[in-house]
Amino acid sequence: MWFKNLQLYRLSTPFTLSAEALAEQMAARAFSGCTRLDRSHSGWAEPYGLDELVVAGGGALWFSLKNEDKLLPSSVVNQTLADKMAHIEATEARRVGRKEKQTLKEQIEDELLPRAFSRFSRTHAVLDPESGWLLVDAANAGKAEGVISALLQAVEGVRLERPDAAQSPASKMADLLLTPAEEQELQLFQLDSDCELKGAGDTQSVVRFARHNLSLPEVAAHLATGKQPVKLGLQWQNRVSFVLTEDWQVRRIKFLDLVQDQVTDSHADDQRALIEATLTIQIAELRGLLTDLMAWLGEAAETAASA
């Protein structure tokens, strides 16, 4: 239940629905599974094995979009199609045209769909009225947009926007890489050990550092040639490590021992209490991290005021 990635969205208007009211609106689009001829289906499902569509934890609202995709191997479809075309050509002494071939393929897929295997996945999200964030645990923007689209269809009055700041993530990441090692501890964020730099121009050369001391002169030398950081590993207060990207994605989140120990110290005595304690601790850490991240980047005044 610990988020591994963050796609960031700002609530542009206050959100006032309770967990129960939000779940009531989501219920009309709850997950029901693919029908015989559906290739895919998505809908809201109970998160973390609990019994409600929306779980309240730490003042935030946690929910999950469940997806089902039918798996039709192209090799099976193509082989079945080839067999049908060969049968037609042999029995009717004619070639199968392009349009007929496409029709046959669609018929085959419709016949095979009810017997196809299904692949299920979930994408978790949290809506935090207190801080004004909607956070989606997805490694890419496309997957997050599926959750956003489903939310906007299911719930009235939600208004979202991408975060904005005075400085770009790439610019601030470059500044931090050039900060002397002895001054790192004074920063809101400290360098971790992973970095990706990309050059400008047509060639766009790429240099990647993994498990590397990023304060070494060789990193600064690449920056001096015009390369810009597109991914940078960071640590926040020895509590959370993550990779920040140039396009506002937060990836590979790890909640470190200081945070994990809080869950242990909560002495939750059953599964639900453990889940609620974990969610409460997690959202508190994410609020603090994102507050400092936006302050570091210089959040646009109008955006900060609306949160």
Distance between CA 286 and CA 125 in Å, rounded? 13
Query: Rounded CA gap, 67 and 122, in Å?
Result: 6
Cβ 10 vs Cβ 161: under 8 Å: yes
| Rounded Cα distance, 163 and 130, in Å | 16
CA atoms within 13 A on the CB side of 136: 26
Alpha-carbon gap, residue 229 to 194, rounded angstroms: 11
Whole-prediction pTM: 0.87
pLDDT tens, position by position, 135-175: 999 999 999 999 999 999 999 989 999 999 999 999 999 99
pLDDT in tens, 234-267: 999 999 999 999 999 999 999 999 999 999 998 8
Measured in degrees and rounded to the nearest 5, phi and psi for residue 288 equal -65, -45
Q: Is the pLDDT score of 282 beyond 90?
A: yes
The average confidence (pLDDT) of the chain is 93
pLDDT at residue 305 above 60?
Answer: no
Which one has a higher pLDDT value, 134 or 107? 134
Burial class (CB in 10 A: 0-12, 13-18, 19+), 242: buried
Integer CA distances (angstroms), 40 to 33, 71, 137, 173, in order: 8, 9, 21, 40
Q: Which tens digit of pLDDT belongs to each residue from 43-93?
A: 999 999 999 999 999 999 999 999 999 998 899 999 999 999 999 999 998
Q: What does the pLDDT average to over 22-41? A: 94
Would you say residue 304 has pLDDT above 60?
Answer: no
Query: 160-161 and 55-57 as β-strands: parallel, antiparallel, unpaired?
Result: unpaired
